[in-house]
Structure 1
């Protein structure tokens, strides 16, 4: 079956229509089909079409001025060989349920193709996931590494449900500033400790980390003392931020997690801001990292985060902070 390439568009004649009707290739145009570069390359590679004057290699070279053509072709080929019907748009590809095709079924996934060095722009990512959700599709990132290996990630916007636990009431108390942390005198049966705050220095003293201290000061549970004088929330935030430029961001996400009844503790050992406990479990369920909504993180950083979370059986969430609230974005590797 012949297809014509005029330097910009690849078309088939009437004999190409079965490619669309039977297998969902191309878009009908007149009596024939219009093929995307990925479709034409795949069909030529599988020897289902001929393009006069071009081999697979030379046609690939014609499209080489498009910087994404290699990785897009690799993803398209992989999805096709997994048994999916794939069409271009509205992101990079829309992927139909196995056994279904255009006109006789619905697409299941909307796929965005990236390289391992591409940045994740959280604001754009959130917009695309919302658009996919409004179309009742799953949003997938297909990432191609430098050795042409593919990894698929499902992206979800998580609305935190309230954790199924009841924390004890906290009694207002004083704390003494010690460096950037604070020390609280407690009894053996400390309500602060039961609520998941602080770390014991000894049987009589509990040390509060800056993000915990900010939360408790904001709620009016802790009055912070610096010597004989009290210290305001703003004064302490300015002091603690001198050595932690992310503290305001972390405080915002920490407060939101606490608002839903979760218990966040430092996630330093996992390379993230928080490990988060749900209910009374002795093991944390989530890893959470706070970012600005306008932030851009390399895909390689996201990959390491997801791999770490998976290895310790936790979900990986990024808390994207913006003026109207926090959007929690979950990244998870999937097999299609």
Structure 2
């Protein structure tokens, strides 16, 4: 607690603390930062001893490191409603609005997507940007902006496809079509030779559900449900991948395998030579280490693509974008 005029000056000029009557109450991170900057004194403590005392609290040190970094970048920072509210540069409580809601994590913390989505929705309803501040094991910081993306329709309309029949070959399907067929034009399949096109499991599921391709096994025509039961025995992620694939196709995007990038899909818009997105399908309750997400974002940025996670739940697909930012 700061009393008297000095405390009021720190609040009025730089947004430190919260007023309580004539006094200013500081959060521990604020008090330690001000002590380090020699703006205040704490009787009986030095910066070293006060930091050491609070550092015994779980997650406090990384929280302080993020607070210090934001302050030294010129932002006014207050605690809550997530970990921090961060004001626009030049603004402070009482004279401006906060711009970011910041959640602090370590590189090894798990990210539970259902909770993440809830917090991003809360931030969006408050007209704030939701940011993850991640502290690694060497105390370095990386900031990620998280957005819930609503897919726009792709740049060109989908091409019409005539219904065809295929033969099941393992989990894939083989269809006899000439080069430059309508299936290839719509972004389906991979050429086996100049007469045969191989259709992947997610493509086959989509085409069967759409009534555009019939698949036979041993001369008998399979239903989409029978094929899914068969193919999912060797691919536990097929349900999530199939739903995300279908959602991307609904918006006229062309998903192809993203294996070489370590993800389920690389996604094209229209006739673009290079893919625009990397998309990984997960269930809504998925929990993923922040270190894994960081590698995904780094890969996507290195090849100039956006990184989206497609979260599958009962009300549809929620696409969550992670992007590294510099505050």
| TM-score by shorter chain over 0.5 | yes
Residue 58 of structure 2, aligned match among 67, 88, 108: 67
Cα distance in 2, alignment partners of residues 128 and 295 from structure 1: 16
Cα distance in 2, alignment partners of residues 167 and 130 from structure 1: 32
Q: Shift of the alpha carbon at 1:208? A: 0.3
SS in 1 for 2:179: coil
Residue 263 of structure 1, aligned match among 245, 254, 262: 254
Q: What RMSD over aligned residues (CA atoms) do the two structures have, in Å?
A: 0.7
1:238 aligns with 2:236: no
1:186 aligns with 2:177: yes
Name the residue aligned to 2:286.
295
Cα distance in 2, alignment partners of residues 39 and 258 from structure 1: 50
Residue 217 of structure 1, aligned match among 208, 215, 218: 208
Residue 2 of structure 2, aligned match among 2, 8, 12: 12
Name the residue aligned to 1:124.
115
Unaligned runs of 5+ in 2: none
Q: Deviations over 1:131-168 (max 9, x none)?
A: 10111110000000000000000000000000011232
Cα distance in 1, alignment partners of residues 287 and 153 from structure 2: 29
Cα distance in 2, alignment partners of residues 144 and 168 from structure 1: 47
Cα distance in 1, alignment partners of residues 311 and 180 from structure 2: 36
Cα distance in 1, alignment partners of residues 157 and 18 from structure 2: 57
Q: Deviations over 1:6-40 (max 9, x none)?
A: xxxxx111131111001000001121110001000
1:334 aligns with 2:325: yes
Name the residue aligned to 1:5.
none
TM-score, with structure 2 as normaliser: 0.99
Residue 30 of structure 2, aligned match among 33, 39, 42: 39
Contact 1:87 1:95 survives alignment (8 Å) = yes
Name the residue aligned to 2:72.
81
Q: Deviations over 1:63-110 (max 9, x none)?
A: 133211100110000000000000001100000000010001111111
Q: Shift of the alpha carbon at 1:328? A: 0.2
How many aligned positions are there?
A: 326
Cα distance in 2, alignment partners of residues 132 and 36 from structure 1: 22
Q: Shift of the alpha carbon at 1:189? A: 3.0
Cα distance in 2, alignment partners of residues 125 and 183 from structure 1: 41
Unaligned runs of 5+ in 1: 1-10
SS in 2 for 1:202: coil
Runs of 4+ with deviation above 2 angstroms: none
Name the residue aligned to 2:13.
22
Cα distance in 2, alignment partners of residues 43 and 335 from structure 1: 24
